[in-house]
Copies of this chain bind each other. A is one copy, B any other.
Amino acid sequence: MSAAPHPTITLTTDFGTSDHFVGVMKGVIAGIAPGARVIDITHEIKPYDILEGAFVIAQAWRYFPKNTIHVVVVDPGVGSARRPILAEASDHFFIAPDNGVLSLIYDAIIDAAAASKAKVKARLKVRVISNPRLMAHDISRTFHGRDIFAPAAAHLARGAQRSKFGELIHDYVRLTGIKPRQVRRGLWHGMILKADRFGNLITNFHIDHFAKIKTRAFELRVGDQRIHRLALTFSEVAIGDLAIVVGSSGYIEIAANQASAATLLGCGAGAEVQLKTH
């Protein structure tokens, strides 16, 4: 990996961009791995919102080149006993606190392994990061992005061996309750994972598991609204009208043409959604 001309490191955090936090992480990386290219995914994860962080990195990572190192820092437990980890899957690397923020990555790898009857352990390797030589000399209690996660990513980009970071672990934290729950035949309860910039409400229903809505009648209920229409594009419905679309990552979204579905419906991340199929 150290031979790659431009190893890529991505950053996903809840640090915002109004402080020096993100810049300092990049400064640390530049000092250790001057040849690395750093790409921001977002720093606008809602503070402490592990689920939003999990969702954003899960939507993004596949579009980066192999050997990309994804750093995800949404870390309400910074300074406590929670472990920093390095996960390896599908030729990508993930560096994060062990608080479930990588859950949707784990789920995707584990589902794919199950589908092809492969062993999860062969496809997903998670290590604790415990080697002090791959961290800052002085570790603050409140900014592990600077002192642990950025240095780990930079050392990996420079070619440090994975095994040097720490021991493999199998009890990494996985969030539960992210997937839709079947209540009875033809009725599923799910939730809004995120309202995006345009006010599209992204649900946790993935089209791969609900492909039948493409060809058969359905009802998606959110709040008082019932939606029966699947549109191919936003511009297909009248301006301001609601429909569902299959989003660019495969999740079903509630959208309005050139208007914010979140505003129209008055709801956002965490809201319950019901899907009836026939």
Residues in A lying within 8 Å of B, measured CB to CB: 5-6, 8, 10, 12, 14-24, 26-28, 30-31, 34-35, 37, 39-44, 47-48, 56-57, 59-60, 63-65, 68, 76-80, 140-143, 146-147, 194, 196-198, 232-236, 245-248, 258
Contact = CB atoms under 8 A, between A and B. Distances in A.
Given A8-B27, A17-B42, A34-B65, 18 more contacts: A5-B34, A6-B35, A10-B23, A16-B197, A18-B196, A19-B196, A20-B56, A21-B196, A23-B41, A27-B60, A30-B68, A31-B64, A47-B197, A63-B146, A80-B235, A140-B248, A141-B245, A142-B247
A142 B41 contact: no
A15 B232 CA distance: 20
A42 B233 CA distance: 25
A64 B27 contact: yes
Contact of A20 (B20, B59, B258): B59
Given A78-B235, A233-B80, A40 B23 contact: yes
Contacts of A68: 27, 30
Contact of A258 (B48, B57, B79): B48
Contact of A79 (B14, B15, B78, B233): B233
12 contacts: A6-B35, A10-B23, A18-B42, A18-B197, A19-B196, A34-B65, A76-B235, A78-B233, A79-B236, A141-B232, A141-B246, A147-B248
